[in-house]
Each structure stands twice: as C-alpha cells, then as structure tokens.
Amino acid sequence: MEKLMIDGGKRLSGEITLHGAKNSVLPILSASVLVNGVSVIHNCPDLSDVRVTVNILRYLGARVKREGSTLTVDTTGICRSNILEEYMSELRSSIIFLGALAARTGNACLYLPGGCDIGLRPIDLHLKGLKSLGYFVYTQGSNVCASGEDIKGTKIVLPFPSVGATENIILASVFAKGTTTVINAAKEPEITDLINFLNKAGAKIKVDSTSVITVKGVKSLHSTEHTVISDRILATTLMSATASCRGDVLIDNAVINDIMPTLPVFEEMGCEITCNKSSIRIKADNRPHCVRFIETMAFPGFPTDCQAPVMASLCVADGMSAIKETVFENRFKHTEQLNLFGADITVKDRIAMINGVEKLYPACVKCTDLRGGAAVVIAALTADGVSYISDIKHIDRGYERIENQLASLGANVMRIKDEKK
Ligand code: EPZ
C-alpha cells in the first residue's frame, strides 16, 4: 500500500490542465454497451474507477484499448449480461450498467453492492424508473436483475434529481418504443455530456431548461467519437488548495459554466477569480475569509463533491463558517481527520460549523473517502511541516496522480510505501 508525504506551508503557483471528468467518463463507458460498434472516447483520465469500469467492459466481452487518454471501446462482441460481485463491490456506481445491459441484451443481472463511505446509496429510483419502462425488475440472491423485450417509452417523475437514476433511465430507454420523458431529471454537466455522447451515436435525446429530458426511442446506435468534458470537481479542489495555501494558479481546459456554482464561495473567501474562455485563474494572497453559510444541492447548486475540499480551506479562515450537507447523509467523516491538523470543526445533524484557526499543524491522517481524501491533502498542504496521508486508494479513484498535479504547482508531495499496510 502507499501513502502521501506532504511537506506543507508553501504557496501554490503555476498552470495546470484539468483531466477529464470521472463522473462523465464512467457513465459514458457504461453507455458504450448500447453501441453496436466502436466508441472512441478522448480525455479519459487514468483513474482506478475507470480501470474497474474497463475491466467490467472486458468481462462483458468488449475489447478496450487505451492510447494515452483515449479509450477505444469495441462492444460488438458483448456476450455476457451479468456483473460479478468483485467488480460491483469495487465500484457501486456501476449500477448504471443495469439499464444499458438490459436495453442491449434484454436481461441483465448485477451484484447489488451495499452502502459506501458517504451513505446508504439506495437505488430505489433507478429500479422504479426501469419498472415504469416495462422492465421486470427482480432480485436473484444478492443480484438485482432487469429483463424485458417489449420496452415502451413513458413519463417518469423523479422525486429527487438523482444523477445515477437519471443516467440509468436514459440508458434503459434509448431503444424503447416511443418516447420517454424524465421530469425533475438531474442537470449535472456530466448528464449533458452523456447525452451528447449518445446523440453522436444516433440517439434522439433532448433536454429542456426545466429539467425535463426526452428520449425518443431508436433502433440502434452506431460507432462514434467523443471527448469527455473536463473535471469540475478537480478544478474546485485545486481552487480550494490555492485558497488555503495562498498562491496564484491558472487552471486550463476549464468549463466556466460548470464551475460557476462555486465561484461566489471563493469570492466570499477573498480570492481573486479571473475567468477566460476556457481557463480560470485564482489568486489568494491572504488568509481566507470565512463563508457564512454553504448548502450543498443538486446542480446548479453548490456541489456536494466540493463540500470536503472547500471545508478544508475554511479551516484556516478568519471566522466561523457553516456548511450544510443536504445530498448525502454521511458525508462529514473527513471532519475528524481535519481536526487532527488542529482545525476546529463541530458537526450537528447535517451542519458542520468550522471555526477558523490561525494555522494548521502537520499530522498523520487517513482518507475516509474520495473527496474527504482531497480535503486532508489540502490541510496537509496548508500545515507548515511534514504530514502523512494513508488509504490514498480513495484519492486515486478520482484524481489522476494527485502528487504530480500538486508538484507541478510547487507543492512538495511524494507517494511513498506505507510499510504499516
Ligand atoms: C453521483 O452519485 C456522483 N457519482 C457522486 O460523485 C455525486 O456526489 C452525486 O452524483 C451527486 O452529485 C458518479 O457520478 C459516479 P445521486 P449518485 O443518485 O448518482 C439518493 C464523487 O465524489 N438516492 O444524485 O449516486 C442518494 O442516497 C461521487 O465523485 C436515493 O435515495 O448520486 C443520495 O442521498 C460521490 N435513491 C442522493 O439521492 C436512488 O435511487 C444523491 O444521489 C438514488 C439516489
């Protein structure tokens, strides 16, 4: 096992290009199952979640080749329609293979993973959506299955704009007879990216401004090529690190609209933000100001995935900040680790109160989950001295070689062997 050694207390400066969005490439790879041909997907980051998804595609019978950040996926040879426990327990978001596999093969069975680090992660909305389309959804031991040949378009109203449920319903309805309308659908940029990929392959999907997605069923999808959007959560993570450590960082290949919901928070912290066509510059010369209240919401609200990184920056702010986590029920596990650096965070129900301190002290901590891991990295970059971070497999799920990215901005970060693990 490995851990990070971070000698913090240094300003960040320089220029960095964002890699592709993890939460876009994963659903697009699942969607490639619907294509009876070759999907050439550019700007795919080399992340452990992507590697697991590629292994699933290969298990299903697809041929996948990586050349740099391009994945070429040939799904003509798909010969299986089940996904084993070893894959599903590694990557529970692979549940969106259910809709794609059921639509392609008429029957799909996936091992049903349990909850994860940040919550129970139920899939009731996914299954309800597939049932509304006419799939017979049932459990077989620890597997959840969906089968159906005569799938008809229908109207589906989501009580909550679930990202995964929206994606699963879209994939399950691409070949349905007639039109499917999804009301109160998720509007995250990654959904739009998935829809763009599918439409390039011949699907007929429209999104209107009132969160309604319309999927007009087609007979088949053909080979296509697509470039994945850049990772807005990586952008916000780098911005949080700059706000906390101070510095002057230019982030290239950014989609400003995707990052827009977080800009008021960085401005309230006192950062100087300059947006150009596809880059964003953040300058932070002083201790961040506290931010009175942040509430995580579905897009275009403040993203739940940015909650932990931004919280790390607020640990050294000049006053009391509050963050309310409304999306996941257990997404404050990183606060305990942040307090080991000398932060002063208290959590009651779904609100974290961050009483800013002058400085953080080096510590030995662990990653509790993907974004919680990013938070402790930011705290270690901010603390003057050497910190150690273990369980970095969580970070590797969503950030490509984070030590190289940070080192390119002047941070002193090394990946070393964790002899204790
Ligand atoms: C996606 O998860 C992302 N993952 C998450 O990113 C992100 O935090 C989340 O959307 C919200 O933006 C991927 O795209 C791979 P949801 P997902 O369905 O689809 C409840 C990261 O750090 N819910 O919008 O699982 C659920 O319990 C990850 O990159 C149901 O109740 O999110 C949660 O409380 C973490 N029933 C809320 O909705 C359901 O059937 C949001 O879940 C589905 C969801």
DSSP per residue over 121-133, as a string? ---HHHHHHHHHT
Does residue 265 share a domain with residue 317?
yes
| 3-class DSSP assignment, residue 193 | helix
Does residue 238 share a domain with residue 110?
no
Q: How many domains does the chain have?
A: 2
pLDDT of residue 141: 87
216 assigned to some structural domain: yes
- CATH number of the domain that residue 325 is part of: 3.65.10.10
Does residue 151 share a domain with residue 262?
no
Domain span holding position 294: 2-19+230-416
Report whether residue 20 contacts ligand 1, using a CB cutoff of 6 Å. Answer: no
Residue nearest to atom 10 of ligand 1 (CA): 163
pLDDT of residue 118: 72
**Catalytic pick among 44, 116, 364, 367:** 116
Best probe residue, ligand 1, of 91, 121, 258, 332 (max atoms within 8 Å of C-beta)? 121
78 assigned to some structural domain: yes
389 assigned to some structural domain: yes
Does residue 248 share a domain with residue 216?
no
- Of 227, 243, 268, the last residue of a domain is 227
Report if pTM > 0.85.
yes
pLDDT of residue 116: 67
pLDDT of residue 308: 98
Q: Give per-10-residue mean pLDDT for the chain (421 aa).
A: 96 98 98 97 97 97 98 97 90 92 96 73 92 95 92 97 98 98 97 98 93 96 98 98 98 97 98 97 98 97 98 98 95 98 97 98 97 98 98 97 98 92 72
Cα–Cα nearest to 330, from 162, 118, 115, 120: 118
CA distance 228 to 258: 13
109 assigned to some structural domain: yes
pLDDT of residue 25: 98
Alpha carbon distance, N-terminus to C-terminus of the chain: 6
CA distance 203 to 223: 12
Does residue 362 share a domain with residue 324?
yes
pLDDT of residue 91: 87
| 3-class DSSP assignment, residue 395 | helix
Does residue 247 share a domain with residue 169?
no
pLDDT of residue 1: 87
Written as six digits, the tokens of 5 are 């050694």
Does residue 206 share a domain with residue 243?
no
- Of 175, 198, 227, the last residue of a domain is 227
Does residue 161 share a domain with residue 26?
yes
- What's at 224, amino acid-wise? T
pLDDT of residue 115: 60
Best probe residue, ligand 1, of 258, 327, 396 (max atoms within 8 Å of C-beta)? 327
